[in-house]
Structure 1
């Protein structure tokens, strides 16, 4: 737990709070299904988890939704608890630094980065077990927090550590097993590749400053400009049709053009442009 001098528990930030609620709620559904309808829970993991076989058995069909949905599922209580604790302590640090909207995009991108690394590297080693868990996003948050605040102190197994040292431990815990697996020494029971993908993304997002890009604002601006262009095109078409009606009469318009005039008239009567 990060601390600036003594043990402290950070207040929940908005995005982290909702992520914890969603992860906890979905895990509860998984748990109930596992008891009442295990075959349904199995299908859920197969389709929403990162099912590596589906990515290479039927191109050009790719289950791209899995790059996000795999981060919503977990394999057990300790799995979801560990990821939620990491997101609580380190996600709140990052969200407090960059703001909620940027952090939401960061978490989504960290999940995708971990998923991409998993799809590519798990195929190399021939692993077939679906990947589930928010570990990619959690490790991304850990590395981002350590890159922002490397000298912040945290308590790790009762030992105070600088945050950068903890980040090195986290990366090493996955890096060395991943190298062994790539060298053909065993098959992965834990998806270390997803963790490394998330860690690399979290580090680069801060070091290269693209964590500060307001992707939500950019999307909103792009949509606004698209709407404005569409409105301008409609106004131009309306002027041209009205000019033609003045010259040639309403009978010169096609059914589509008459429908367009009717829609524009209704829009203007309601006060729209």
Structure 2
């Protein structure tokens, strides 16, 4: 039991190091170079106005590269390291970067849709969408397994629900300036990718099965009694 409760520090894998270093360099540069900070504010952050009115479609991804302050960056980096190292060890580099990209994009699209729905226009930034996608993939991998979250035993699916509940709590209490839409969009994208439901081959097989069932129903509607039809033909 003592070994189970021993705190585990994951390794700093290569892709985690690259991700954290790149995010830190970009944040530090935006703090130290005033023209860059102005450029980021005007052209790199996602909002309804930026995408729809100014045509800055690229902000659906570039918002993820920047952070408001060091605390924001530190939290995202810590969570990415804690839950992403195991995935990075078992995935190829291509899968790691593709997964992060799509989760960031999923978060960006969800942010845009939420701002359209609620008629808001808050510029949003941060790697949280990709980070929450990584958390969702980690939770799926341990969906019914026992994990220790701050020394409390939980399953993967319970851990994911806790993250969602914390997001909602922070928004309702106003304690953190986070985008719950980006978090939830990243989580949803991460789950879709981790479960494999997105794969074109599965979609194609499902489409073929549906078409076969439809054709079979059509044949039966034209010839409700195949045996009778056969007897008539013989006569």
Q: Normalising to structure 2: TM-score of the pair?
A: 0.74
Per-residue displacement from partner, 1:106-138 (whole Å, max 9, x unpaired)?
000000000000011112212222110000000
1:153-201 deviation per Cα after TM superposition (whole angstroms, max 9, x unaligned): 2332x534433322111122335788x8xxxxx9x94211111100101
Contact in 2 for aligned 1:72/1:134 (Cα 8 Å)? yes
How many residue pairs end up in the alignment?
195
Partner of 2:227: none
Per the alignment, do residues 95 and 57 of structure 1 end up closer, same or farther by CA in structure 2, a change over 3 Å counting?
same
Distance 1:207 1:80, change over 3 A: same
Other-structure match for 2:61: 68
Matched residues in 2 for 1:129 and 1:4: separation?
44
Question: Displacement of 1:90 after TM fit?
Answer: 1.0
Shift of 1:51: 3.0
* Rounded Cα–Cα distance in structure 2 between residues aligned with 1:132 and 1:171: 19
Residue 12 of structure 1: SS of its match in structure 2?
A: coil
Q: Secondary structure at the match of 1:133?
A: coil
SS in 2 for 1:21: helix
2:190 corresponds to 1:196: no
Long gaps (5+) in structure 2: 202-235
Equivalent residue, structure 1, for 2:49: 53
Q: For residue 78 of structure 1, what is the aligned residue in structure 2?
A: 71
Give 1:40 deviation, angstroms: 4.6
C-alpha distance in structure 1 between counterparts of 2:146 and 2:21, whole Å: 27
Separation in 2 of the partners of 1:77 and 1:114? 21
Q: Cα 1:210–1:100, aligned 2, differ >3 Å: closer, same or farther?
A: farther
Residue in 1 that maps onto 2:30: 30
Q: 1:22 to 1:152 in 2, by over 3 A?
A: farther
Taking the aligned partners of 2:27 and 2:102, their CA distance within structure 1 comes to 22
1:130-209 matches, within 5 Å, as: 130-150=123-143, 151-156=145-150, 158-174=151-167, 189-208=177-196
Identify the match of residue 44 of structure 1 among 25, 40, 43.
Answer: 40
TM-score when normalising by structure 1: 0.64
| Cα-to-partner distance string for 1:185-226 (whole Å, 9 max, x where unaligned) | x9x942111111001011111122558x9xxxxxxxxxxxxx
